[in-house]
Structure 1
Amino acid sequence: MSSCSLFKKKGGGSGERSATTGWEYNNPDNGGFEYKSGYEQAAGPGLVYVQGGTFTMGRVEQDVMFNWNNTPRRVTVASFYMDETEVRNVDWREYLHWIERVYPDDKKEFQKALPDTLVWREELSYNEPYLENYLRHPAFSDYPVVGVSWVQASNYCKWRTDRVNEQILIDNGILTLDAAQQGQEVFTTESYYAGLYKGVDGKSPIEDLSKESGNRRVKQSDGILLPRYRLPTEAEWEFAALGLQGNTKGELLTERRIYPWNGHHLRYGNDDKKNRGKIRANFTRSRGDLMGLAGHLNDGFDITGPVTQVGSNDLGLYGMAGNVNEWVYDVYRPLSSMDVSEFQPIRGNVYTQYRKDADGNLQRDEHGRLVKDTVANYVNFNDGDYQSRIILGDDWTTTDNKKKGSNSMYPGDPAGNVKPRIDDHVRVYKGGSWKDRPYWLSPGSRRYTNENSSTDDIGFRCAMTHLGDPDNIDN
């Protein structure tokens, strides 16, 4: 990382001075306060930069499902990074390999990360070959991983953050690769920042300018380690899928999009003579046609396909329509578009803080991760408080309230045994898949399922926040 070159050795400062005190930065003779200007964030492995902006989020075509759950609304998203492709089977196998190596005696942790290969099993379909081969056979290495739940995808993002940041420290000589780390003494970004991960010093440690001698660990203010990988928000995903930057003239949007490309056609047109006539995405065309006629296949794949099988959108992102649906961060609510903020809209904020013992020390679990406690949960914001209740009072089953309409919220179930399909554990997924019709390829469409469920047509990709000036990126 170029940031390391900004550290000065003892015997002189950087030449820059504080505008408020006049003291020289990075000078060990006056206390060694360190400051580095001109920060440029480097893209993490696999990521593509997406400059933020305003756009109309929501439905762009007829609501044929009559869900009325994605009313168009203008919002703004900040700049961020998005994976160029969906996470592949080979990426997930690397994840499993690491868990098995670092936690050899923790079979539960390994089992928790395994995709559910049984998602391929269907009563009246011969899908056993995919159940047996899809995850591990090299023929499918570059295909998107499926059978992973929202919870598993989120855990993968955390693991990826730590592995990328650990490698950055190793590449810069600050740490030495410790292949023997196990259990609680495993590198995590948070435990390293907190001083709980010791590790093995590298050949180029950072000198501590505030002391006569000695080195120090990397701090957040150094800008060396990257922000965390995470699932994209629904707004970020939709913004990136549309890729409208190619359809602007100044601040004028010249053409809205139904799909991640211009026009309503599902094949390449005359604007791309090399691919003219080819299908633009992996989806199901009409009833029972998943791949086309033998000798003239349309998308070329019976199930999923390699993550770069078709061209990218204007941002360089592959597979933003078809192949597999993709998890996003948001908790599902039908009327989210009417509730969420105009800037960085999201549904599902849960605020946490680090757990400390009686002496104020941070606590770690058996896997080296800092333990967090929830201090505020806004998943249910305005879902049932006094401001949003249709009826008055605490009990909707009272005699007075029954007179307002039906005798029960769920007719035929006065005891309340029927559970709603929408609760705090349902998450949004988007993008359409190999088994979906074209309607679901539109970035404005949205569906939901339980965060612990998995299917043969839902995968995911990671995102990362961009820090600072939207134009200040390290190419």
Structure 2
Amino acid sequence: MNKKTTALLLTFFCILTAIYAQELPVCCSENLVSRSSFTVKQHVSTPTVSVDKDRVDMILIEGDTFSMGNPRFADAGVIRQVTLSSYWVDVYAVTNAQFARFVEETNYVTVAERPLYPQDFPGVDTALLVVGSAVFTTPDSDTNLQNYLQWWDFVPGASWRHPEGSQSNIIGRDNHPVVHIAYDDAEAYAKWAGKRLPTEAEWEYAAKGNLDLSSEFYWGDELKKDGSWQANIFQGQFPTNNTQEDGYIQTAPVGSFPANSFGLYDMSGNVWEWCSDYYYPTYDTKELINPKGPNSSYDPQEPLAAKRVQRGGSFLCNDQYCEGYKTGARGKGEVNSTANHIGFRCVSDVK
């Protein structure tokens, strides 16, 4: 498939309507038009082996009040004193092995794997109704950072089973975070596991641990800690030259970088993680106890798109283009977004 064709497919991928809408997250795709828009204390946390179906370690986060938000970012600039009840959080993002077990037991088909039917897209060339997803591809030369089509390709056959396309697989990547996950996919897994997706407030508190609001990164004010990388992000000149100083060019196995003060891994970098909140470009100053976010989404860049919050950034974050891995930074994605840097983790209520 030539570059012109893949560019056409990716453009189509970004503007189709209805349930198949897909928009790349803000990281490395600012202002991308989605298909739908077209028509602090130290806590003593106790790990446990979950009795839920996915049988993974979770950490108990004790309820408390914390400062949520960061004036560094326009949509996170409203600082709130938020109070949360206690809850459990997965130690790691959901892995390929965990998701494979879910699919094996339920025969679930992800959004990226679902066929596109001509009757749902009248007037569209059927050659464009291709199953697949968006994959980051390093451009051949220096590029205009305003044109995301230069580093995102729509790849037929790309899905959680085939992260780089139909010729790829996840053999040897059981412990990598599952990717190409839409919001509905994450929610379906969480329901199967007897869990749920975190609220944005729960996610941020879990990521911050006991660090002060003013810290630039979730681990402190220095990008490296004692000379070591703390997260899987993009080093070098984005998007053409990833020097891989942290050891990885794409996803890293979960737990490859140090845990935070709560014992949670990869709350920054590696993959974006879905939250249950609808996206809105500011915070509600009156919703201060276990906030769940607005009842519907609104993104002034794409007012017709239904978006949920994504947090934590990914292996593509780089200060030249994306600061999504920094403290308080927010991402957003159309609910059927899929790409090879989108995953999730689950939480559970204290029973």
Does the 8 Å CA contact 1:331/1:379 hold for their aligned counterparts?
yes
Per the TM alignment, residue 324 of structure 1 is displaced from its structure 2 partner at its CA by 0.7
TM-aligned CA distance change 1:457 to 1:41, over 3 Å: closer
In 2, the alpha carbon distance for the partners of 1:455 and 1:239 equals: 26
Alignment correspondent of 1:52: 63
Does the 8 Å CA contact 2:76/2:328 hold for their aligned counterparts?
no
In 2, the alpha carbon distance for the partners of 1:69 and 1:230 equals: 24
2:288 to 333, 342, 345: 342
In 1, the alpha carbon distance for the partners of 2:237 and 2:79 equals: 30
Does the 8 Å CA contact 1:310/1:318 hold for their aligned counterparts?
yes
Alignment correspondent of 1:90: 97
1:254-304 deviations in whole A, cap 9, x for unaligned? x75332212x211121xxxxxxx22111111342378864xxx41100111
Given residue 218 of structure 2, which amino acid in structure 1 is its aligned partner? P
In 2, the alpha carbon distance for the partners of 1:291 and 1:125 equals: 12
1:192-249 deviations in whole A, cap 9, x for unaligned? xxxxxxxxxxxxxxxxxxxxxxxxxxxxxxxxxxxxx0000000000000111xx5xx
Task: State the TM-score, normalized to the length of structure 2.
Answer: 0.66
In 2, the alpha carbon distance for the partners of 1:230 and 1:429 equals: 15
Given residue 257 of structure 1, which amino acid in structure 2 is its aligned partner? S
TM-aligned CA distance change 1:342 to 1:308, over 3 Å: same
In 1, the alpha carbon distance for the partners of 2:241 and 2:233 equals: 8
What SS is found at the alignment partner of 1:131?
coil
In 2, the alpha carbon distance for the partners of 1:311 and 1:432 equals: 16
TM-aligned CA distance change 1:126 to 1:433, over 3 Å: closer
Number of residue pairs aligned between Structure 1 and Structure 2: 262
TM-aligned CA distance change 1:126 to 1:113, over 3 Å: closer
TM-aligned CA distance change 1:113 to 1:453, over 3 Å: closer
1:378-428 deviations in whole A, cap 9, x for unaligned? 437xx9xxxxxxxxxxxxxxxxxxxxxxxxxxxxxxxxxxx9613572101
TM-aligned CA distance change 1:55 to 1:97, over 3 Å: same
Given residue 235 of structure 1, which amino acid in structure 2 is its aligned partner? A
Alignment correspondent of 2:122: none
Alignment correspondent of 1:120: 135
Alignment correspondent of 1:278: 228
Task: State the TM-score, normalized to the length of structure 1.
Answer: 0.50
Per the TM alignment, residue 114 of structure 1 is displaced from its structure 2 partner at its CA by 4.4
Q: How high is the sequence identity, in percent, across the aligned residues?
A: 27
Superposition map of 1:229-240 within 5 A: 229-240=195-206
Given residue 250 of structure 2, which amino acid in structure 1 is its aligned partner? I
Per the TM alignment, residue 43 of structure 1 is displaced from its structure 2 partner at its CA by 5.7
TM-aligned CA distance change 1:440 to 1:420, over 3 Å: closer
Given residue 346 of structure 2, which amino acid in structure 1 is its aligned partner? C
In 2, the alpha carbon distance for the partners of 1:286 and 1:52 equals: 39
In 2, the alpha carbon distance for the partners of 1:317 and 1:291 equals: 30
What SS is found at the alignment partner of 2:206?
helix
In 1, the alpha carbon distance for the partners of 2:167 and 2:219 equals: 33
In 2, the alpha carbon distance for the partners of 1:319 and 1:233 equals: 17
Given residue 268 of structure 1, which amino acid in structure 2 is its aligned partner? K
TM-aligned CA distance change 1:124 to 1:450, over 3 Å: closer
TM-aligned CA distance change 1:288 to 1:42, over 3 Å: closer
Given residue 293 of structure 2, which amino acid in structure 1 is its aligned partner? R
Larger radius of gyration: 1
Alignment correspondent of 2:165: 131
Any gaps of 5 or more consecutive residues in structure 2? 1-45, 115-130, 138-148, 156-162
TM-aligned CA distance change 1:267 to 1:337, over 3 Å: same
TM-aligned CA distance change 1:94 to 1:51, over 3 Å: same
TM-aligned CA distance change 1:68 to 1:346, over 3 Å: same
Alignment correspondent of 1:143: 176
Superposition map of 1:248-287 within 5 A: 256-262=214-220, 264-269=221-226, 277-287=227-237
In 1, the alpha carbon distance for the partners of 2:197 and 2:193 equals: 12
TM-aligned CA distance change 1:54 to 1:261, over 3 Å: same
TM-aligned CA distance change 1:458 to 1:443, over 3 Å: farther
Alignment correspondent of 1:12: none
Given residue 330 of structure 2, which amino acid in structure 1 is its aligned partner? R
Given residue 232 of structure 1, which amino acid in structure 2 is its aligned partner? P
In 1, the alpha carbon distance for the partners of 2:305 and 2:239 equals: 36
Given residue 170 of structure 2, which amino acid in structure 1 is its aligned partner? H
In 2, the alpha carbon distance for the partners of 1:98 and 1:310 equals: 31
What SS is found at the alignment partner of 2:284?
helix
1:432 to 313, 337, 344: 313
TM-aligned CA distance change 1:139 to 1:256, over 3 Å: same
Does the 8 Å CA contact 1:89/1:140 hold for their aligned counterparts?
yes
In 2, the alpha carbon distance for the partners of 1:144 and 1:56 equals: 29
Per the TM alignment, residue 457 of structure 1 is displaced from its structure 2 partner at its CA by 1.4
In 1, the alpha carbon distance for the partners of 2:170 and 2:261 equals: 32
Alignment correspondent of 2:28: none
Alignment correspondent of 2:249: 302
Per the TM alignment, residue 91 of structure 1 is displaced from its structure 2 partner at its CA by 1.3
Superposition map of 1:53-202 within 5 A: 53-59=64-70, 62-63=72-73, 67-100=74-107, 110=109, 114=113, 118-120=133-135, 130-132=164-166, 136-161=169-194
Superposition map of 1:299-448 within 5 A: 299-339=246-286, 341-348=287-294, 378-379=295-296, 421-423=302-304, 425-438=306-319, 439-448=323-332
Per the TM alignment, residue 335 of structure 1 is displaced from its structure 2 partner at its CA by 2.3
TM-aligned CA distance change 1:259 to 1:124, over 3 Å: closer
Alignment correspondent of 1:414: none
Alignment correspondent of 1:37: none
Does the 8 Å CA contact 1:43/1:81 hold for their aligned counterparts?
no
In 2, the alpha carbon distance for the partners of 1:310 and 1:143 equals: 13
Cα root mean square deviation, aligned: 3.1
